[in-house]
Structure 1
Amino acid sequence: MPLTTRRRLLRFGAAALPLVALGAALPSVARAATAPSGATLRMPAETDHHVRTFMAWPALSSVWSSNLGAVRRDIATVAHEISRYEPVVLLARPDQAADARYTCGSGAYYGIDVVEIPNDDLWIRDFGPTFVVAPGAVAGVDTRFNGWGKTGTSYAQPYANDAVAAATLLGQYGIDRVRAPFVGEGGSLETDGEGTLLATVSSLVNANRNPGMTQDQVEQGMRSVLGADKVIWVPGLAGQDITDAHIDCLARFTAPGRVILDKPGPGTDPKWIAVYEETRRILQGATDARGRRLAVTELPGPDRRYIRGRGTEFLSSYTNYYTANGAVLVPQFGDGYADGVAYAILQAAYPGRNVVQLNIDNIASGGGGIHCATQSQPVVPPAA
């Protein structure tokens, strides 16, 4: 549907050009997007209060093969658990909406609303909007999803519907859309809500997303649409998974100045251990946008000999958890000791929330987790 009638013109600094008109060409100095009040729009911490959680109904048997039904049951399980704490909106293709409603339609405390928006897969963290807020204002950043840049590779899958879902969703809810001046995904962006971003070079400064753009140009684009004052970059690893090593499987803010770091469990490929070691070195020497040194807590992964899931794409990362209102939803993999350690570490990191462990083996078999399958819409801060 046309979105122009639902969109206010956001004001931007520099030459007062709206960022939606900049495309991939970023000016040498980019200024942060601002609300009509003049306040900077910032990506909030995921721990801030949510209006709702967005999810998506996996659509394609060509992607999931005979596992599609099981993956849908996992999505329904996650949606039901989140609905104990906040409303859930589930995107689904019009011809699949009835099935989604039937599977998710009972026992939801806050409700699960199925909206008919065509999609291809369940990874709404990556193709959905990334929200930014200011006092009295909210907008959604469309990071111009391009299927993780995997066209022509063994990871390629259909994404035409996912590529436009953010715009459609924002239009349906009457939320301003900002088109990012870089290509990326929500899973490649992690923030403390106070102006600090974490990101991997491998997933953003990559010719499969942003050809010809330097790291500084990508960073300026992130600053301009996400209200960031500082980006802490870690190398990551390109070409070894579909995301090129998203940050949300590696390091997460639990609070300003405090970071959870994924520590690979026994049986992990040595190349991912090297990624962890380099990330730990960088984070331990880093300061955030306000000059604080980061306190780093390691979150050990399970022993891959003892987990239920198998396969090279299986994501055995507890760090891909999701914080809902009052809860932390985290995978449980079947290694009883490691599952228990993860529970204790996350409960200590989020003392005011319930830690809910879920079997999501079917989702994890596709290389993602609970965080990848969710996107939060934050509450708008009160106007001054």
Structure 2
Amino acid sequence: MKGPNRRAWLRFGAAGVLTGAGAVACGPGSDQGGEEKVPAQEADGWRMPPETQQHKRTFMAWPPLDSDWASADLAEDVQRDIAGIAQRTAEFEPVVLLAAPKEVKAAQRACGAGVEVIPVAVDDLWMRDTGPTFVTGPKGLAGVDLHFNGWGGKQEHERDGRVARTVLTREHVPRIDAPLTAEGGSLEVDGQGTLLVTESSLVNPNRNPGMSRDEIEAALKNLVGATKVIWLKGLRGEDITDYHVDSLARFAENGVVLLSSPPRNTPPDVWTRAYDQARSVLKEATDARGRRLELVDLPEPDPTELGSRGADFLGSYANYYVVNDAVIIPRFGDRKADRNAASIIGELHPGREVVPVEIHTVAEGGGGIHCATQQQPEL
């Protein structure tokens, strides 16, 4: 496979790979001014709402023509995928798409009048990770700036490192300056005090050197209003994100977790062991209200049914996105698995239309629909 696949980055590299602490463009405590700022120590009282809460809008980003996608001859293909996600999402709620100033017109033509395109320079499409994580509280709405650093300095992020701050300033939303480095895709909440995370992406010196798991947990609880954190081991160093939870496990409803699972007869490897470890933890876990979790398997597509898809194609149906009155889910090309996933997700999100979208190129890049979107909750 060719392309900037987020699972395979270690094998073939990327043109803009950075290393070491010097890769951090905007670390905790930095301040460029120009926005209303909420000190991290005053973040208490804010909570990250569940994705099922009504949204005011969705933010997305347009992968620019000078990105790593272009070096793999995939720029136009991935832009087509992003336009498709934006168009279907815009049927249910407003969509604001960030695009390089010189690409605004092209992005607008591709997405249509139903999507608002604004001139903001970005490095890539992964708005879940680069954008702010919105929280609500007694004072209304705020956004947590998690200091995106290219997933630990693995990718060029000079522009993406400023996206959270830029969005919050534009929307006149107070900015909470997180005392750690993380990404939105590494946080999964049920809205009732439970936070689900992978240790591999957070307790990691490429993001939070010198911080213990207990220190990171305390900071996360304060930032998102959690009272209980469930830690999955995850998998460090096998993909660019160090295994984000949003491709592994999602809260579907109170006390219910959808768990991505490999197809039958998948030979054991590092990924199946990560699934098994997550299952063993979740089977014994209780949520913030003391309820034992119900696990629902969400089988991934059979690779033999995916045609010419790359060996590292991210076939996770768990990387879906809940919007107002609908759920936007990936369609990979394994008809049986696609139908099964739509049925399972639809049953656990009653009253919402299930909207499948083909995202072959985004998935070749090791990401999904959830990775490409970030919701702003309605107050």
1:67-124 CA distances to partner (integer Å, 9 max, x unpaired)? 1001001100000000110000000111111111111124x3xxx1111111100000
Q: 1:78 to 1:187 in 2, by over 3 A?
A: same
* Correspondence for 1:91: 98
Structure with bigger RCO (C-alpha 8 Å, 6+ apart): 2
Query: Where do residues 155-170 of structure 1 align in structure 2 (5 Å cutoff)?
Result: 156-170=154-168
* TM-score when normalising by structure 1: 0.87
* Correspondence for 1:246: 244
Which structure 2 residue ranges, 5 or more long, are not aligned?
A: 1-30
Q: 1:269 to 1:158 in 2, by over 3 A?
A: farther
* Cα pair 1:32 1:41 within 8 Å, conserved: no
* Cα pair 1:60 1:120 within 8 Å, conserved: no
Q: Which AA in structure 2 matches 1:222?
A: L
* Correspondence for 1:118: 121
* Cα pair 1:50 1:379 within 8 Å, conserved: yes
* Cα pair 2:67 2:124 within 8 Å, conserved: no
* TM-score when normalising by structure 2: 0.88
* Cα pair 2:188 2:196 within 8 Å, conserved: yes
* Secondary structure at 1:231 match in 2: strand
Distance, in Å, in 2 between the alignment partners of 1:378 and 1:173 is 13
Distance, in Å, in 1 between the alignment partners of 2:46 and 2:267 is 39
* Correspondence for 1:42: 47
* Correspondence for 1:105 among 104, 112, 134: 112
* Correspondence for 1:207: 205
* Correspondence for 1:265: 263
Query: Where do residues 297-316 of structure 1 align in structure 2 (5 Å cutoff)?
Result: 297-308=296-307, 310-316=309-315
Query: Where do residues 307-326 of structure 1 align in structure 2 (5 Å cutoff)?
Result: 307-308=306-307, 310-326=309-325
Deviation at residue 308 of structure 1 after TM alignment = 4.0
Identity within the alignment, % = 49
* Correspondence for 1:139: 142
The worse-fitting range, judged by mean Cα deviation, of 286-295 and 80-89 is: 286-295
Query: Where do residues 342-357 of structure 1 align in structure 2 (5 Å cutoff)?
Result: 342-357=341-356
Which structure 1 residue ranges, 5 or more long, are not aligned?
A: 11-17, 20-30, 35-39
* Secondary structure at 1:236 match in 2: coil
Q: Which AA in structure 2 matches 1:297?
A: V
Q: 1:119 to 1:62 in 2, by over 3 A?
A: closer
Distance, in Å, in 2 between the alignment partners of 1:52 and 1:268 is 41
Q: Which AA in structure 1 matches 2:127?
A: I
Moved over 3 A (4+): 2-6, 266-269
* Correspondence for 2:16: none
Matching of residue 221 in structure 1 with residue 228 in structure 2: no
* Correspondence for 1:56: 61
* Cα pair 1:322 1:329 within 8 Å, conserved: yes
Q: Which AA in structure 2 matches 1:51?
A: K
Let me know the Cα RMSD of the aligned residues: 1.6
Distance, in Å, in 2 between the alignment partners of 1:345 and 1:372 is 21
